[in-house]
Amino acid sequence: VQLQASGGGLVQAGGSLRLSCVASGGTFSRYYMGWFRRAPGKDREFVAGIRNSGDSTSYADSVKARFTISRDNTRNTVYLQVNSLKAEDAAVYYCAAKRLILTDVRHLSTAFQYDYWGQGTQVTVSS
């Protein structure tokens, strides 16, 4: 499956963005989807994940209550709504996918668990 992320940009602290990731080449509803980010000089870190059907989500503590992950399986798209942005949220954001059977109820929060990655979209936060 191929992933194409978009929606990044320059935003003031406290502002919002909606990131999108469109998947192609596979049956989207068979994939667990996640968002990661990498800031300059830092390791890639998990941001949020969502199960195949969208019925359950998982978040890093640093973004809980500010970020929301969602998906539209009819549009083969996963979204990340980012609100109340802080300087420390500035990073390249990546979407990732892992094929899971529907009875697999895990949430995936480490990069090595994913098989497919998008190219990233830059989020810059100005003060």
**pLDDT, tens digit, for every residue of 42-94?**
999 999 999 999 999 999 999 999 999 999 999 999 999 999 999 999 999 99
Percent of the chain with pLDDT over 70: 100
Percent of the chain with pLDDT over 90: 94
What integer pLDDT is reported at residue 71 of this predicted model? 98
Residue given tokens 């890093």 in the structure block: 60
CB-neighbour burial class of residue 3 (10 A; exposed 0-12, middle 13-18, buried 19+): buried
**What is the chain's mean pLDDT, rounded?**
96
What integer pLDDT is reported at residue 42 of this predicted model? 96
